[in-house]
Structure 1
Amino acid sequence: MAKTKQEIRAEVKQRRLALTPQERAEKSSCICAALLSLLDGTGPVMVYIAKPPEVDTELLVSRLLVRGTRVIVPVIERETTSLRLSYLEDPSVLVESTFCVPEPVGCEIPARPDEIGIAIIPLLAFDRQGNRLGYGAGYYDRFLASHPHVKTIGVAFACQEMPEVPGEATDIRMDRILTESGIIHVQEQRPRILYNPVSK
């Protein structure tokens, strides 16, 4: 019997929590290095700001800013269940906000969706067909459905992969998925591993 979304969320959360802080840091660093290679020369880039125990994006954001890439971060609007966008020039302005997600509260620099080429999207669970499971509120699905030009790279730890994630018409599949084990490039339901980092 196929697992429900609720069952998958509960299982994957336990898998992710089983990682030690050191393991999460090492795997996040590996994922960051791969993303920096993929995003070379690309900009602006939309990057989610992580909260523990997600794949940490702090190093990615700082490295992108150092090399001159403009970074756009999402800001959660609970009232409208939507995302608005802000440029991030100084990570020190981030403070814990909605759903404990760090956001540039009081320091927003408005950005437009049409400025984004690639978006780095958090995954709670995923499969090799590009299906993504988030926390259930649908913020990213609605945003991506409204802006289909945005190419997506979903990021997660390899332990968050499931054989199958149930999808609905409103769910947006990722173009690529990146874990510490490599990149899954979703193409006509036949994913290919394109990158295998040296460190695991």
Structure 2
Amino acid sequence: MDKKELRKQIRNRKRQFTADELNELSVPVMNRLLGMHEVINAKTILLYYSLPDEVNTHETVELLARQGKTVLLPKVIDGENMEIRIYESPEDLTEGSYGIMEPNGKLFTDYGMIDTAVIPGMSFDADNNRLGRGKGYYDRFLKNIPQAYKIGVCFDFQKEQNIPHDEYDIKMDTVI
């Protein structure tokens, strides 16, 4: 199966769940994330502010910021790139395209300081390969933070034994 077909299959699986069910399924995933020493010990952590069909990170983003960690969120800036913004409070979010909440905090460029990166994906496999949404934003950005411990996050029903990947795809260190 090619990447395009697998993305379609995963989208169809996601549609079988209501928003409330996806939020409920998100709780154990976020609890596992919060228990990881790479998150507990991180001073600077890159997260994502979840879309409605992704593992819900909204409370986790807020919690880690309240704990005093430097929380970073990505913002797509053009057809190929994203930038990283500091999240300190809900005021650092504004509604962007398609009603998606986007970070508008201070620009963060000291990529060497990022300890841990929590990365969403359409699918992950047993070898920690990641299938994204197809635009390559994360794969291009992750090359800038080789030192960061990369944690792939998805629902169990998104995991596959093997997914198609190539030399441009960045592997995760672990997937939860």
TM norm. shorter chain > 0.5: yes
Cα distance in 2, alignment partners of residues 146 and 111 from structure 1: 10
8 Å contact from structure 1 (residues 32, 59) kept in 2:
no
8 Å contact from structure 1 (residues 117, 149) kept in 2:
yes
8 Å contact from structure 1 (residues 16, 157) kept in 2:
no
Cα distance in 2, alignment partners of residues 91 and 112 from structure 1: 23
8 Å contact from structure 1 (residues 88, 109) kept in 2:
no
CA RMSD of aligned residues (A): 1.6
Give 1 or 2: higher helix fraction.
2
Give the gaps of 5 or more residues in structure 1: 179-200
User: 1:129 deviation in Å?
Assistant: 0.7
8 Å contact from structure 2 (residues 43, 115) kept in 1:
yes
**1:176 counterpart letter in structure 2:** T
My pick for the range that moved more, 151-160 or 58-67, is 58-67
Residues paired across the two proteins, number: 174
Give the gaps of 5 or more residues in structure 2: none
Cα distance in 2, alignment partners of residues 120 and 104 from structure 1: 16
Moved >6 Å (runs of 4+)? none
CA distances 1:60-119 after superposition (whole Å, capped 9, x unpaired): 11111122111011111215x1221111111233123256542123x4343421110110
- One of 145, 163, 166 as aligned partner of 1:165: 163
Cα distance in 1, alignment partners of residues 100 and 117 from structure 2: 17
User: 1:41 deviation in Å?
Assistant: 2.6
CA distances 1:127-155 after superposition (whole Å, capped 9, x unpaired): 11111111111011011123211210010
Cα distance in 2, alignment partners of residues 20 and 111 from structure 1: 37
- One of 2, 10, 13 as aligned partner of 2:11: 13
**2:157 counterpart letter in structure 1:** C
Alignment correspondent of 1:77: 77
User: 1:21 deviation in Å?
Assistant: 2.1
Residue 51 in 1 paired to residue 64 in 2?
no
**1:17 counterpart letter in structure 2:** R
**1:103 counterpart letter in structure 2:** E
8 Å contact from structure 1 (residues 85, 112) kept in 2:
no
Cα distance in 1, alignment partners of residues 150 and 108 from structure 2: 21
Change in 2 beyond 3 A, CA 1:101/1:121: farther
8 Å contact from structure 1 (residues 44, 71) kept in 2:
yes
Normalised to the residue count of structure 2, the TM-score between the two structures is 0.91
- One of 136, 146, 149 as aligned partner of 1:148: 146
Identity between Structure 1 and Structure 2 (%): 32
For the residue of structure 2 that corresponds to 1:13, the secondary structure is: helix
